[in-house]
């Protein structure tokens, strides 16, 4: 059984220029944010066995980078809920994210309330999924 941390933990990939704003938006709701730059950094964090509730990923990555990150995240145990953000969200992007096991798509620019609400809903979904999996053991 995985012990829940006291705060919501977010794993995020974001451009350096956006990290300060995202950190501010998420610490306002009591979340801890760890930023990564690529799949190798994610792999190192995975080895530390930190429990993440939510992964926040951009849709705009080269295919090889996207699949490397997605693969590493889906190997985390338990797997965090995955929020994808993009400048525009087509039906194909949204349905593709959901088909691959992602939680939702956010359209940039997002307000504090939009990001905070999406993260809190995703974190709640993560907690409910973990509780359900633990009760089945």
What is residue 68's predicted lDDT score, i.e. its pLDDT? 85
Q: Where are the domains of the chain?
A: 9-136
The yes/no answer on whether domain 9-136 falls in CATH 3.40.50.2300 is yes
What is residue 137's predicted lDDT score, i.e. its pLDDT? 66
Span 63-82, mean pLDDT? Answer: 86
What is residue 2's predicted lDDT score, i.e. its pLDDT? 41
What would the pLDDT profile of 111-137 be if each residue is shown by its tens digit?
999 999 999 999 999 999 999 988 886
Distance CA 42, CA 39 (A): 5
What is residue 23's predicted lDDT score, i.e. its pLDDT? 98
What would the pLDDT profile of 36-71 be if each residue is shown by its tens digit?
988 788 888 878 888 999 999 999 887 777 788 888
Task: Write down the mean pLDDT value for the chain.
Answer: 90
Q: Which of 29, 71, 75 is nearest to 52 (CA)?
A: 75
What is residue 1's predicted lDDT score, i.e. its pLDDT? 37
Residue 89 has pLDDT above 50, yes or no: yes
Span 6-16, mean pLDDT? Answer: 91
């Amino acid at each position: 059984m995985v012990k829940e941390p006291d705060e919501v933990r977010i794993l995020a990939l974001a451009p350096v220029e956006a990290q300060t704003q995202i950190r501010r938006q998420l610490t306002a709701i009591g979340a801890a944010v760890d930023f990564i730059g690529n799949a190798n950094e994610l792999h190192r964090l995975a080895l530390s066995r930190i429990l993440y509730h939510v992964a926040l990923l951009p849709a705009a990555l080269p295919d090889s980078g996207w699949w490397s990150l997605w693969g590493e995240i889906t190997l985390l145990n338990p797997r965090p809920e995955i929020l994808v953000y993009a400048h525009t969200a087509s039906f194909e992007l949204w349905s593709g994210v959901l088909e691959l096991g992602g939680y939702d798509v956010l359209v940039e620019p997002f307000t504090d309330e939009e990001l905070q609400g999406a993260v809190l809903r995703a974190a709640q979904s993560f907690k409910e999924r973990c509780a359900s999996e633990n009760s089945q053991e």
